[in-house]
Amino acid sequence: MTIQTFTVRWGILATGGIASLFTKDLLVPPSSRNVTDIQHTVTAIASSSSLERAKAFADAHNLPSATLHDSYEALAADPNVDIVYVATPHSHHFRNAMLCLQAGKAVLCEKPITVNARQAQILADTAKQNGVFLMEAVWTRFFPLTKAVGQIVSSGQLGSVHRVLADMSFGEEIETKWGTEHRLVNLDLAGGVLLDLGIYSLTWVFEILYRLGGDEYPKVMSTMTKYAPTGSDETTSVLLRFPRSGAQGIALSGLRVSSDPDGMNSARPAIRIQGTKGEIQIDGPCYRPTAYRLIPKLQEGETAAGKKPIQDVEMPIPGHGMFWEADECGRCLRDGKLESEIMSLQESIAIMRVMDEVREQNDFVYPAELESTDY
């Protein structure tokens, strides 16, 4: 039987760093990752700064036939676009995604989907009402490695999982690296480590203890250290307890000390999934892992002496790795689905709720207009 290839026509909303990486990945031949049912084309690019910026982006990616727009409104109205990739700072996700959904356009929105759970709920409701697809761009969810790890957990090889630990931290001198204006530390752009990096540690805890564990909302405890020059959070540690199973999740994020201090994963692993029969360790960074190892517990009567070291399972990525989430969007559009089962809207909202609770526990609010549900 010949498989029909479905072509997805993308509109790129914003022309910053991640828009560029994502576009590059869209243009990687799907055959390089053994995909034959989906292909991608970029039909439009919008920059809110200027048409010249959209043109420079198109030139940089060799997209001479893409339509260029100097406003996000024009992109949302473009009839040759099936789905818009929203690649603006956190502060803008709610209003930019809302614009597209209200125009009847499907949306893949960068993480975090919004600033708070109330906004995320409104986006989900709007997508449903308008019959359009919406997904948060948590790309790691779609890695073959994530699927492989999930299959090991579901198969029972780890026994029952009681704890997941994940650390997504950079070790930088924040003052010199990001100053006060960069989106990572700027409150006016909804910056801060929890929303930017903590979401990935939470992703691993949720992937194992929530998604594979029966969608149970956890009890949330946390602590946060603020970055004095802007008041954004620089180190945030979250402890979750899932009531039914009693399983615990520890989701760390930070900007001052690194989960990978030498850049060679000597401090591995960044993620540990611990069960009664053994554990899986995954090397970081949490957002782009490429290796894991399965460590079975010693059997009754077995001794550690003379045992061979456990081998890593390497899963290299033929590009940056954002194409897998794009393929998922394509399959959902092709199949008329309004959301992905792998990154569901209710799970995105649940994670936003956790981050809301963490911020509330630590008196961390964004400017009122960013927290607002007006758009």
Ligand X SMILES: O=C1OC[C@@H](O)[C@H](O)[C@H]1O
The bridge status of strand 248-254 relative to strand 232-241 is: antiparallel
As measured in angstroms, the least distance from the Cβ of 15 to ligand NDP is 3
Which one of residues 8, 10, 11, 14 is an interface residue with ligand NDP (CB under 6 A)? Answer: 14
Q: How is 204-267 classified by DSSP, letter by letter? A: HHHIIIIITTTSPPPEEEEEEEEETTTTEEEEEEEEEE-TTT--EEEEEEESSS-SSTTSS-TT
Query: What's the rounded Cα separation, in Å, for the pair 65 and 153?
Result: 46
**Residue closest to ligand NDP, measured at CB:** 16
196 binds ligand X (CB under 6 A): yes
Chain-centroid distance of CA 152 in Å reads 22
Chain-centroid distance of CA 301 in Å reads 43
Which one of residues 8, 10, 11, 15 is an interface residue with ligand NDP (CB under 6 A)? Answer: 15
Which one of residues 5, 17, 181, 219 is an interface residue with ligand NDP (CB under 6 A)? Answer: 17
**Which residue has 């070790």 as its token pair?**
171
The site partner of 116 among ligand X, ligand NDP, none (C-beta below 5 to 8 Å per kind) is none
**Cβ nearer to ligand X, comparing 206 with 242:** 206
Sheet holding 219-227, edge to edge: 219-227, 232-241, 248-254, 161-169, 271-275, 278-282, 291-296, 313-314
Kindly give the residue spans of alpha helices, DSSP state H, lying in the chain. Answer: 17-26, 51-60, 72-76, 90-102, 117-130, 144-155, 174-177, 193, 199-206, 323-334, 345-361, 368-371
**Cβ nearer to ligand NDP, comparing 192 with 275:** 192
Bond prior to 64 in cis (omega within 30° of 0): no
325 binds ligand X (CB under 6 A): no
The site partner of 87 among ligand X, ligand NDP, none (C-beta below 5 to 8 Å per kind) is ligand NDP
Chain-centroid distance of CA 254 in Å reads 17
Residues 53-72 that bind ligand NDP (CB under 6 A): 53
Residues 89-128 that bind ligand NDP (CB under 6 A): 89-90, 92, 110-111
Which one of residues 287, 323, 364, 366 is an interface residue with ligand X (CB under 6 A)? Answer: 287
As measured in angstroms, the least distance from the Cβ of 197 to ligand X is 6
228 C-beta neighbours (distance < 10 Å), count: 10
Please tell me the count of residues contacting ligand NDP according to CB under 6 A.
Answer: 23
Which one of residues 287, 292, 323, 324 is an interface residue with ligand NDP (CB under 6 A)? Answer: 287
Query: What's the rounded Cα separation, in Å, for the pair 164 and 149?
Result: 13
Name every residue whose Cβ is closer than 8 Å to that of residue 81 and which is 6 or more positions away in sequence: 9, 10, 11, 43, 44, 75, 105
136 binds ligand NDP (CB under 6 A): no
**Cβ nearer to ligand NDP, comparing 288 with 293:** 288
16 binds ligand NDP (CB under 6 A): yes
**Cβ nearer to ligand X, comparing 18 with 27:** 18
Handedness of CA 347, 349, 355, 357 (dihedral sign): negative
**Cβ nearer to ligand NDP, comparing 183 with 272:** 183
The site partner of 48 among ligand X, ligand NDP, none (C-beta below 5 to 8 Å per kind) is ligand NDP
Question: What is the contact surface with ligand NDP in residues (CB under 6 A)?
Answer: 14-19, 47-49, 53, 87-90, 92, 110-111, 137, 139, 183, 189, 196, 287
Question: What is the contact surface with ligand X in residues (CB under 6 A)?
Answer: 184, 196, 287
